Amino acid sequence: MKVSKEDLIKLYGQMWLIRLFEQRASDLFAKGVMPGFIHLGIGQEAFMAGTNYNIKAGDSVGSSHREHGLLLGLGITPNELMAELYGKETGCNKGKGGSMHACKAKVGAIGCNGILGAAQTIINGYGFAHKVRNDGNIAVTVFGDGAANRGDVHEGMNLASVMNLPVVFIIVDNGYGISMSSKESSLVDDLSARAAGYGMPGLTADGNDILAVIEATREAFERARQGGGPSVVEFKTYRHHGHFEGDPTPYRTKEEVEMWMKKDPIARFEKVLLERNILNEEQMKDIYEEQLAIVDAAQKFAEESPYPEGPEGYEDVFYFYEGGDK
Ligand SMILES: Cc1ncc(C[n+]2csc(CCOP(=O)(O)OP(=O)(O)O)c2C)c(N)n1
Ligand SMILES: [Mg+2]
């Protein structure tokens, strides 16, 4: 697929935005400034930016617990996402969604479900709505190698298939489900092979090569848009950090980490951009600085924003008080 020079440059900026945003979140979390619990997708930027590239206005995209990058690409701004991570009133969910439940339905970011696998059945409702409305939009659900082993995922795939829904199941095999290697939790090399069991196409692509991601999602998304039904796309990638921030990762070797660092998706894309004379090193540095300034501004915005207070603090949430539930 031909991607214009302008788009390649935008994608490069987008990858840096995701990485810098998450590195900042990691630092703030380590300092104890950021509350809650975060899972970072540093190292997985190519699949996030590449998938977003083929998303159109009106599509419904369900993310998982590691996809701040997808949310940024869909249209949750860095300011409102950072504020959400801080639990502030100016966050996209007034600080009550946090990292794992940040969403913004009007830009198609339909959110995450804390129960692995559950979102892959729910996505069919979105797919069905697009089909009934005949709006040419699709529903996309992104989930991990660990989630892929849940029974609900199989039900979801089967239903999408028999109802010929415009749903794309994106499996992100990043090597682990917490500390369980994906090589041990499933004995098929490619999790996309599951698609055959439901009579739909399945494809595995290099999730650290943004151009391969764009190609794979384009094919699957176009099929779904044109009434060709659901499919599975699997991306092989690696998370540079642990499952959660603070995870000491005793389950992986230094050699394994080093091997994947050599496949860093940003460095790989830089090589392509240099080889094709699209950007030189100085221009790449400028783009990096631009994205860094956006992240600095997002942090400042989040820190200066208020927490939800008074009655507002108790709206949109279930809470318990002594003497009964309310
Ligand atoms: C049904 C269910 N079981 C267990 C958990 C706890 N849990 C949260 S994340 C996770 C691992 C997910 O691994 P994977 O799907 O590969 O995604 P990744 O974290 O690698 O992005 C587990 C077991 C859960 N949230 N839901
Ligand atoms: Mg995983």
Atom of ligand 1 nearest to the CA of 114: 25
Mean predicted confidence (pLDDT) in 155-174: 98
CA atoms of 16 and 265, how far apart (whole Å): 10
Establish whether residue 178 lines the binding site of ligand 1, counting it when its CB lies within 6 angstroms of any ligand atom: yes
Would you say how long the chain is, in residues?
Answer: 326
**325, pLDDT greater than 80:** no
Domains held by the chain: number: 1
Establish whether residue 293 lines the binding site of ligand 1, counting it when its CB lies within 6 angstroms of any ligand atom: no
Which of 176, 167, 238, 230 shows the shortest CA–CA distance to 209?
A: 238
Q: Give the tens place of pLDDT for each residue, 287-303.
A: 999 999 999 999 999 99
Q: Give the tens place of pLDDT for each residue, 45-102.
A: 999 999 999 999 999 999 999 999 999 999 999 999 999 999 999 999 999 999 999 9
CA atoms of 238 and 208, how far apart (whole Å): 8
Establish whether residue 175 lines the binding site of ligand 1, counting it when its CB lies within 6 angstroms of any ligand atom: no
Say which CATH number the domain at 312 has. 3.40.50.970
pTM for the full model? Answer: 0.96
Residues 6+ apart with CB under 8 A from 100: 37, 39, 65, 112, 114
Strands in the chain per DSSP E: 60-62, 109-111, 139-144, 167-173, 176-177, 180-181, 202-206, 231-236, 320-321, 324-325
Atom of ligand 1 nearest to the CA of 39: 19
Which range marks the domain in which residue 13 is found?
5-325
Residues 6+ apart with CB under 8 A from 168: 138, 139, 140, 141, 217, 220, 221, 224, 230, 231, 232, 233
* 3-state SS, residue 241: coil
Q: H or E segment at 54?
A: none
CA atoms of 75 and 98, how far apart (whole Å): 16
Question: Tell me, what's the pLDDT at 322?
Answer: 64
Q: Give the tens place of pLDDT for each residue, 190-228.
A: 999 999 999 999 999 999 999 999 999 999 999 999 999
* 3-state SS, residue 276: coil
Q: How far is CA 79 from CA 89, 302, 304, in A?
A: 12, 7, 11
Q: H or E segment at 11?
A: helix 5-30
Establish whether residue 234 lines the binding site of ligand 1, counting it when its CB lies within 6 angstroms of any ligand atom: no
Which residue CA neighbors atom 8 of ligand 1 most closely? 116
Which residue CA neighbors atom 12 of ligand 1 most closely? 177
| Other CB atoms within 10 Å distance of the CB of residue 89 | 16
Establish whether residue 274 lines the binding site of ligand 1, counting it when its CB lies within 6 angstroms of any ligand atom: no
CA angle 116, 120, 124 (to 5 degrees): 155
Alpha helices in 193-264 (DSSP H): 210-225, 254-261
CA dihedral 245, 250, 252, 258 (to 10 degrees): 70
